[in-house]
Structure 1
């Protein structure tokens, strides 16, 4: 197809002539009247082969109906019994954005377990909750975004640079680890029924995608054929070939000149032709509009060209949120011969194949997953599992013997993340069932009398982690006599969409949709609500709004920052930044919020809080003072998912639109640590971050460091168990902790030269695979053949012994190096790993088999070639280059 068509712009900007299921004027809709669905229709016959059923259903659709099904928010085709469906749902580390669900550690923490079997348990729990919630929503008439069964997870991009804010969503920097974790996660999501999918998983973002966030819509990344085959493709190939993943999402950026969602090389030649992928492809949201956006790729001049390009390349669903759907122009593209109707049919059939596999056209009793009860959501078993996984995800980076803490130790919990909800959940998360902050977990384990606390500082600048609910002591209203009474007057309104006004993007302006008068009025002591049902009519699927009015009377003077999901006015003025308040003075307060669930489906279970923080206090002085009486300081620092993440607005020193410009600890925290260090007390640092941190000073000056990542809703409980030795740390780093980004190439450089443990030649702070334990493990009796033939597998066995005094789990890692390769190859590569639990003094014989394909090398044209020569291998607690015997064993095998 000509991808730079030259039709006049005024014509190309026209949208498709097809207008929707009610009928169109295009050629394909003429002829016999549409046929309504009956029970005798072949597509409803469960005895027929799936392709035949899909073909029959699609053949009954008009052109406009078919095009409408290529949007992420596909409308109903009522005459055919096709329900409306939104393909967009998320389950990165728990069912996300759909209300209450068990929140597991963020993906980077899941990777730190190095336990693929455990990850399949996690994904199975997630898919249990996903099925239960989907059917609950369907039973209550909810078919919005985040209610479906197609989950846009996992994210298996390679975390090639620590500056990338979305790296927290990945399984780290290694293709093999990423692929194996993806395999387990996808298996757990999709289930093991031979006929039906439990849910549909998605591997994203294909491909060559890992920042920067702020320029992802316009960047063109160059990747050599060698880097593609060696690093960027393997995890996706595992997801497609081994896990049979149902869906793939293409990325925003260009790859070697072509948009990822329009790349023949990616979507046709690699994904479908080479790997045999037969599922559906979804665009990242708005990615197809980037084809013609002047501020993005700007490669074509109008939507019809972009739609045709993406569809012919193999993109089946246009997620067009925020910019409507570019695929709405497919009818016009068809008229202008940019595409054939068969191209549309192919995409629609792929989509309905998935819907049939999910059982959406079959009797519920035929589908084994339809009876999973809502009681599984946040069940005792799932909460116990997330606690177990959180324990295994934390990595002990350094320990001079201060850990584990002795019973009765008096600790001072200092730091901005002690009560920060964001570090529990990371991004792409659900609403926890039982969120336990670090402080709460430590207090529960150590006893209230043994714990003092002070936040100590902001996270950075005006970003604080210790916002608190504005308490009832500060909130009042006036009665009819003008007397000040406790609580805010709350007016609960029905929604009247007929009164609503719409913005330029055709979305309702929520505040305009309130009914003329409230359904009821009451007094609320504080604003801290979570609704699973509408307070107006007790329905699951009900819109409503609330307006709180009253008087704020601060108990202490200061400069306050407020955080709330609603619209806040003080003395009639919108509250944006810090507000100076005087103790005892009265300030009129109005807070309002509207929840339009029938319109947008977001949020499905609304919540609102009115929180604040007094920024005027001398937090550092308070922290130093309370720490004087403690025996050990536990510093809960790092960053949070409110600083790093997807295309954010944050612009602070070290942070740029979700990415990072350096990886040092924010200076306000570093300065606080220096003051605490001067007290001469042991300091245990718990670092929360979704990415590597350059903890150089901390490594030299602190007694112990725990890398916690974002550990899920059981964070506090798991952390306390680890600190006091109830759990023995076994996590390993899935990324390299560098000393500085100055040691790395340019962030936008997509070559792997001097990146990740496989290619980096400099000195690192903590290597990939690193992690300490409270016990010791030794490797002995390594047995490998002296030589093997080309194409022969490599069998390895070794004895692992827990030579310490505590039971513990060990992550055994096998690395290979190919020093005789005729081209440049990775310095070393992970080829196998295993988690083993051993009692003190116990031994186990471990066996590994490395397939011959995993001993091949990639030549400069991107082709895997059989290897001949020496193979240097290590088996141990991490990369052998960073260990000493007996933490690893090594040998050399020759392939002749």
Structure 2
């Protein structure tokens, strides 16, 4: 008998389209296997030869959490380059390294969770470093470039499969899993959705991740916008991956559903395809899905829909076609090209904020480099481990020679004396073993934090002088003389055992709490006080040690000495990305920490030729009036120091541009939870104050002139052109920006709005012509009166320049659009959330699955204004759909109340609506309508009848 080869199943047939292959594989899976696929860590199906698969690999600015990798500038720094071509190359490098790392470590995933496209609406958001810009068009342009690089150029197979984070209107860490972003329709469409839409429509995205927060009272993990918006933008199967733990939040913290079975079913039906919950243990999620099926809350068809989307991504990644996958096998990792790209990105991200003829520095300049970040190359929560490292000090040593550069960190040197008269002492560390080396010979540094094999601190007659850095809000780090940070491990003992602050819960931060003339030392990570015990120094709930703080040297004294001896002082200030402003923690102020302000003042007093370099994940409010030069860069990755030194030396002319407004004072900021950028006059689009530095700002060592701006409508598009000339003698980049302003809009429109930009580098004396073709839809706004986009006819001013406020050329263009129509309230009624203006009102969920309602903010009287409502030949009645209790008063124009409606008794729940009716004297013609809300009444809709 001759053995026969079993036929190749259709899902393995590369000659078939993916859709048919997915159909075949899906038909072969059992119900239990499909359920298993719904967890982040999907098991293998050995009988079919299908491997295990997990969703999720962090890759925000390099492959993260998987050891050594090329570390590029933070996302906000990539946004500051305003350079899509560069960012595309960065994405390509990151995806190549992901593939390379996958070859040697199967834990490295190819479904990458990046980039973050949440808009940088509020600069106190703790995750400011993760976004690209406050502007939706710039954000989507940079995100499209990055995802293009991550995806690759092959028409069929993807190098990695990017997932956009975090859907939707997510811009606060404070109570992030229970707060609701109240987002009116215009803000939803013109602002928050726009950041996602262009990138999805570009075909470079495999999916999205919902955010922890609620939008309009409904958790994002059951958002109807996934179905009503996201999935209408593309014909591709988009994979929606939950954020970690968020499915459980639907019941545990948000109390939106009574049972996890209901919550799981609702999330799956809303469009969540992969549940990131309970770590690697899938049993809880599997149990919930089974329970939902048994209760009839889900069908197998619902599961099929989610599994199909997962399989679509896996097929595109080449998992089932190893012989045909063009990205399989060895890929570049830590190459000279990647290192050069990291440096190029760091250079292009630097923004010159101010320069009064101090920069660039001459080669023979004697420099004092000072500050808490002067010899630091900080990483953040979404960084990989550094293979290469360059601090500002190291970069300046390299560029200007060590004998011309003096360093003063500026930390306070302190001793901590106990009540017994002894001092805290750091035992010497044992000799460190040779660092392990990974692939390509790269160093694989071990994280020291959490080690318990090192001796804890003790107390004795000879104390250790500790470096105390105050990062603001009273949060301190303490460092041993050899540079190790004091840290607390799981056993509660204090050791000098960390190379940097870090971790999900930072264990390297402390607070000094006044206690009479002395202090208690509280460990922030555990909330416990430091105690001196016979077996070593530890944290405990009782018997805290009382310390006398003895300052051996003030940081500003060291800065003063160094500054006085130098030709120029470079003060490097900013933040540690793990402290006071990070995931789970918003900032409270724009001000620099007090210790850094003291260092800056000391440097300026000792030497007026002071350059302030802000290295930070977010903007600061710093008075620049007596600073001759000021620069900003996000934490710039592995080449940050080299890049900074080259810019200071003039080897590179800075051309980074601010991707968000820098406000002058905390008083300029809206409430962190006020998501109404229109009503709150937020971001450069609507802000009417004077910023410290405007959106798009950035200076150059070169000079550029702008030619005449011309614009016209051709083939249903607006064609715009102008020239830019390098009128100086320096080779430099410029970033021309094109904005629009509606001259006489019928509704509030942006003061100016970015339409297009381009980073160019004309040689000295060279002129380049810039042309942009803009669809008429670029001039549209979301018209709540008709529930769709509309281009308003009239005059539009186009402005070209070097920033949103530095306008060099302008022209006015008249567009034929669709005239405004009065609201047809008799035929269509008024949805409560479709207001033109409001005060004291928030938008809430009409029910758990879809729709909006409005209610008065607790403790306030709410008012809604609907403009230009057409009552036709006349109406004599009003009907309101409401739930809860309270009252709704309806009036026309500035006239008296026509009707006051209130339920006779509270409805049984927030989603139990009743219709209340009232009659009044006839009203005809076109009028504004006002609705006043009192009490916890939910208003879904207002209707009028004759």
For this structure pair, what is the TM-score category when the shorter chain's length is used for normalisation? 0.7 to 0.9
Counterpart among 561, 579, 591 of residue 664 in structure 1:
591
Counterpart among 125, 135, 148 of residue 109 in structure 2:
148
Match of 1:680 in 2: 607
SS of alignment partner, residue 759 of structure 2: strand
- CA 1:382/1:624 → structure 2, altered by over 3 Å: closer, same or farther? same
- CA 1:540/1:847 → structure 2, altered by over 3 Å: closer, same or farther? closer
Aligned counterparts, 1:354-503, within 5 A: 354-362=313-321, 364-373=322-331, 376-422=332-378, 425-457=379-411, 488=430
- CA 1:572/1:71 → structure 2, altered by over 3 Å: closer, same or farther? closer
- CA 1:433/1:92 → structure 2, altered by over 3 Å: closer, same or farther? same
**Is residue 122 of structure 1 aligned with residue 29 of structure 2?**
no
**Is residue 799 of structure 1 aligned with residue 734 of structure 2?**
no
Match of 1:740 in 2: 665
Deviations 1:854-877 (A, max 9, x none): 122222355210231111011111
Q: Distance in 2 between matches of 1:572 and 1:539?
A: 22
1:748 Cα deviation (Å)? Answer: 0.4
- CA 1:679/1:767 → structure 2, altered by over 3 Å: closer, same or farther? same
Name the structure, 1 or 2, with higher relative contact order (CA <8 Å, separation 6+). 1
Deviations 1:96-148 (A, max 9, x none): 111111111111110111111111111111111111111222xxxx3x3xx11
**Is residue 76 of structure 1 aligned with residue 44 of structure 2?**
yes
Match of 2:802 in 1: 877
Q: Distance in 1 between matches of 2:753 and 2:363?
A: 42
State whether residues 120 and 184 of structure 1, in contact with CA within 8 Å, keep that contact through their aligned partners in structure 2. yes
State whether residues 367 and 570 of structure 2, in contact with CA within 8 Å, keep that contact through their aligned partners in structure 1. yes
Q: Distance in 1 between matches of 2:563 and 2:29?
A: 71
State whether residues 251 and 259 of structure 2, in contact with CA within 8 Å, keep that contact through their aligned partners in structure 1. yes
Q: Distance in 1 between matches of 2:351 and 2:241?
A: 35
Q: Distance in 2 between matches of 1:802 and 1:638?
A: 33
Q: Distance in 2 between matches of 1:332 and 1:571?
A: 46
Q: Distance in 2 between matches of 1:208 and 1:634?
A: 38
In the alignment, structure 1 segments of 5+ residues that lack a partner are: 1-36, 463-472, 477-486, 489-524, 581-586, 592-612, 649-657
Counterpart among 202, 205, 212 of residue 242 in structure 1:
202
Counterpart among 249, 256, 276 of residue 299 in structure 1:
256
- CA 1:878/1:551 → structure 2, altered by over 3 Å: closer, same or farther? closer
1:420 Cα deviation (Å)? Answer: 2.3
Q: Distance in 2 between matches of 1:360 and 1:162?
A: 41
Counterpart among 647, 652, 659 of residue 727 in structure 1:
652
**Is residue 632 of structure 1 aligned with residue 565 of structure 2?**
no
**Is residue 859 of structure 1 aligned with residue 783 of structure 2?**
yes
Counterpart among 740, 746, 754 of residue 822 in structure 1:
746
Match of 2:831 in 1: none
State whether residues 639 and 688 of structure 1, in contact with CA within 8 Å, keep that contact through their aligned partners in structure 2. yes
1:617 Cα deviation (Å)? Answer: 3.9
Deviations 1:286-319 (A, max 9, x none): 11111101xx211112211110010011100011
- CA 1:852/1:630 → structure 2, altered by over 3 Å: closer, same or farther? same
Q: Distance in 1 between matches of 2:495 and 2:645?
A: 45
Q: Distance in 2 between matches of 1:72 and 1:459?
A: 48
Match of 2:237 in 1: 278
Deviations 1:749-800 (A, max 9, x none): 1100311000111111100000000011110132234xx48x8212122121
1:371 Cα deviation (Å)? Answer: 2.6
SS of alignment partner, residue 91 of structure 2: helix
Q: Distance in 1 between matches of 2:488 and 2:46?
A: 37
Structure in which a larger fraction of residues adopt strand: 2
Aligned counterparts, 1:144-183, within 5 A: 144=107, 147-183=108-144
Q: Distance in 1 between matches of 2:119 and 2:256?
A: 27
1:728 Cα deviation (Å)? Answer: 0.3
Deviations 1:136-191 (A, max 9, x none): 22xxxx3x3xx110000010011110010112111110011011111111111011
State whether residues 434 and 713 of structure 1, in contact with CA within 8 Å, keep that contact through their aligned partners in structure 2. yes
Q: Distance in 2 between matches of 1:614 and 1:834?
A: 55
Q: Distance in 1 between matches of 2:392 and 2:65?
A: 23
Output the TM-score relative to the length of structure 2: 0.73
Match of 1:219 in 2: 179
- CA 1:61/1:459 → structure 2, altered by over 3 Å: closer, same or farther? farther
- CA 1:258/1:372 → structure 2, altered by over 3 Å: closer, same or farther? same
State whether residues 621 and 662 of structure 2, in contact with CA within 8 Å, keep that contact through their aligned partners in structure 1. yes
Q: Distance in 1 between matches of 2:116 and 2:494?
A: 46
Counterpart among 172, 187, 193 of residue 148 in structure 2:
187
- CA 1:39/1:432 → structure 2, altered by over 3 Å: closer, same or farther? farther
Q: Distance in 2 between matches of 1:834 and 1:459?
A: 48
Q: Distance in 2 between matches of 1:539 and 1:441?
A: 23
1:344 Cα deviation (Å)? Answer: 0.6
Match of 1:318 in 2: 275
Match of 2:620 in 1: 693
- CA 1:291/1:800 → structure 2, altered by over 3 Å: closer, same or farther? same
- CA 1:271/1:571 → structure 2, altered by over 3 Å: closer, same or farther? closer
1:640 Cα deviation (Å)? Answer: 2.2
**Is residue 768 of structure 1 aligned with residue 726 of structure 2?**
no
Cα-Cα RMSD: 3.3
1:409 Cα deviation (Å)? Answer: 0.5
In the alignment, structure 2 segments of 5+ residues that lack a partner are: 417-424, 467-477, 480-484, 498-506, 511-519, 522-533, 539-548, 817-946
Q: Distance in 2 between matches of 1:458 and 1:63?
A: 63
- CA 1:552/1:694 → structure 2, altered by over 3 Å: closer, same or farther? closer
State whether residues 407 and 562 of structure 2, in contact with CA within 8 Å, keep that contact through their aligned partners in structure 1. yes
State whether residues 377 and 635 of structure 2, in contact with CA within 8 Å, keep that contact through their aligned partners in structure 1. no
**Is residue 58 of structure 1 aligned with residue 26 of structure 2?**
yes
Counterpart among 212, 218, 221 of residue 252 in structure 1:
212
1:689 Cα deviation (Å)? Answer: 1.3
- CA 1:267/1:334 → structure 2, altered by over 3 Å: closer, same or farther? same
Match of 2:705 in 1: 778
1:735 Cα deviation (Å)? Answer: 0.3
SS of alignment partner, residue 892 of structure 1: strand
Q: Distance in 1 between matches of 2:119 and 2:596?
A: 30
Q: Distance in 1 between matches of 2:553 and 2:629?
A: 29
SS of alignment partner, residue 153 of structure 1: strand
- CA 1:573/1:47 → structure 2, altered by over 3 Å: closer, same or farther? closer
Greater mean deviation of Cα atoms: 569-578 or 401-410: 569-578
Counting matched residue pairs gives 737
Greater mean deviation of Cα atoms: 450-459 or 183-192: 450-459
Match of 2:301 in 1: 342
Aligned counterparts, 1:32-43, within 5 A: 40-43=8-11
SS of alignment partner, residue 638 of structure 2: coil
- CA 1:571/1:563 → structure 2, altered by over 3 Å: closer, same or farther? closer
- CA 1:614/1:309 → structure 2, altered by over 3 Å: closer, same or farther? farther
Match of 2:768 in 1: 844
Match of 1:526 in 2: 432
- CA 1:835/1:458 → structure 2, altered by over 3 Å: closer, same or farther? farther
Match of 2:882 in 1: none
State whether residues 486 and 494 of structure 2, in contact with CA within 8 Å, keep that contact through their aligned partners in structure 1. no
State whether residues 821 and 857 of structure 1, in contact with CA within 8 Å, keep that contact through their aligned partners in structure 2. no
- CA 1:383/1:316 → structure 2, altered by over 3 Å: closer, same or farther? same
1:546 Cα deviation (Å)? Answer: 8.3
Q: Distance in 1 between matches of 2:142 and 2:301?
A: 37
Q: Distance in 2 between matches of 1:571 and 1:332?
A: 46
